[in-house]
Amino acid sequence: MRTGHEKDTSDEAILAALRDGGLGSVLERAGGLDVEHDWPSMASLGERQELVIAGLILARPSFAVLDRVSTALGTARLEQCLHRLTENSIGYINFDERAASIDLYDAVLQIEDNGAWNWRQGSIADGVSPHS
């Protein structure tokens, strides 16, 4: 994910985003920020997904499209990542086939194989204001 502002992001901001995301152990295994790695062999799929979330938080887009992140993260980590996006005013759509708690989202659009659909309103849990 390149934004053109990579050189504007300080190492301290990157380190803070990684630590806030619980990725301190990945940083230690990597040996720092300036070391090249074969990430698929070094970090789990879940850790790589969390690295993407940290990158989104650093890039600060208004909106993100997520694709089946719960597959690698599981419900608890997914909830933490979605809250981090919301806390950083990043709206998102999450395409996911797994039924996660509707409380994680402002709304859920469920589309069946036969084309039937269902729209349900949700509410972001824990008093975090929804951003969509």
Instruction: Measure the CA–CA gap between 61 and 120, rounded to whole angstroms.
Output: 26
Share of the chain above pLDDT 90, in %: 29
Instruction: Measure the CA–CA gap between 27 and 14, rounded to whole angstroms.
Output: 10
Q: Please, is 64 exposed, middle or buried when counting C-beta atoms within 10 Å of its C-beta (0-12, 13-18, 19+)?
A: middle
Instruction: Measure the CA–CA gap between 11 and 32, rounded to whole angstroms.
Output: 10
The pLDDT of residue 59? 93
pLDDT band at 132 (very low <50, low <70, confident <90, very high): very low
| Cα dihedral 70, 90, 111, 98 in deg (nearest 10) | 10
Instruction: Measure the CA–CA gap between 13 and 23, rounded to whole angstroms.
Output: 14
Instruction: Measure the CA–CA gap between 87 and 81, rounded to whole angstroms.
Output: 10
The pLDDT of residue 24? 85
Cβ count within 10 A of residue 124: 17
Cβ pair 122, 104 in contact under 8 A = yes
Q: Which tens digits make up the pLDDT trace of 37-89?
A: 787 788 888 898 999 999 999 999 999 999 888 888 888 888 899 999 999 99
